[in-house]
Amino acid sequence: MKEEGKLRLVEAPPLIEIKNLTKTFETVTALDDVSLTVPEGRIIGLLGPNGGGKTTLLKILAGLCCDYRGEVKVCGHRPGAVTKAQVSYLPDKIGVPDTLMVGEIIKIYRTFFEDFDEERCREMLNIFEIKETDTAKEMSKGVIDKLQVSLLMSRKAKLYLLDEPIAGVDIEARDHVLDVILERFTPKSTMIIVTHMVREIERLFDSVIVLKKGKINAFEESDAIRMRYGSLEEGLKEIFRGEK
């Protein structure tokens, strides 16, 4: 018999759904039976020792690596042509042409990404004191990182994937870059950041995923780890050593 007076709430589907994901490179298993569900509105640190599978996972979510086993969905779809319009990816290596002027790169982004906000990009470039006549070959690694962050955060994406976004940025400018990232983040999106610079970036993280040897060792709220270990960095050290 139908119950009266009750409202059934239908939850929105998660932004990321991963089931039994395995990715191997010849004899090396980069990701080993990974299952993961990520909602929207989160900034997540993807952390772990070198070789843990972090960059491989980002490339799969970005639709750049397709030969894997298991099920991966971003915004309800397998990563590929459809999801690339909803994903903004910053690789760990330089991803902009080094001979083009910044103004020319902006035109390319405007052409390829409908969600690209040209005005927002120019605002960030002004903040970072980057001129549209500059080229990447004239820039330091830190300035290139600022340029790439400006391009990445000028898209109105659902999923932002950042692989070591401030690795080349000098100490004095790091907080400035992180503030810009946080200010441009929308609660309807999700951001995953790979970094080894936990102390510098941890204030952004709602939660952290720890990948070690291709497996998830932890997926927890940042505050829960801080309460248990005194600080996020100390907690991660214990998790890396195998103690949860």
Residue 52 sits in a domain whose CATH number is 3.40.50.300
**pTM strictly above 0.85:** yes
In a domain, 77, yes or no: yes
Q: Which two tokens stand for residue 65?
A: 């690596």
Q: Which two tokens stand for residue 143?
A: 């300035």
For every one of its 244 residues, what pLDDT tens digit does the chain have, with 9 covering 90 and above? 444 444 444 455 689 999 999 999 988 999 999 999 999 999 999 998 888 899 999 999 999 999 999 999 999 999 998 998 999 999 988 788 889 999 999 999 999 999 999 999 999 999 999 999 999 999 998 999 999 999 999 999 999 999 999 888 888 889 989 998 998 888 889 999 999 888 889 889 999 999 999 999 889 999 999 999 888 888 888 888 765 5
Q: Are 44 and 195 spatial neighbours (Cβ–Cβ below 8 Å)?
A: no
In a domain, 151, yes or no: yes
Q: Are 159 and 189 spatial neighbours (Cβ–Cβ below 8 Å)?
A: yes
61: Cα separation from own chain's centroid: 10
Please give the Cα distance from 159 to 88 (Å, whole number).
6
Host domain of residue 112: 39-240
In a domain, 101, yes or no: yes
CA atoms within 13 A on the CB side of 229: 18
Full strand arrangement of the beta sheet holding 190-194: 87-90, 159-163, 190-194, 43-47, 207-212, 215-221
In a domain, 182, yes or no: yes
In a domain, 46, yes or no: yes
In a domain, 128, yes or no: yes
Q: Looking only at Cα atoms, what is the longest distance across the chain? A: 73
In a domain, 196, yes or no: yes
Domain count for the chain, please give it.
1
The pLDDT assigned to 13 comes to: 66
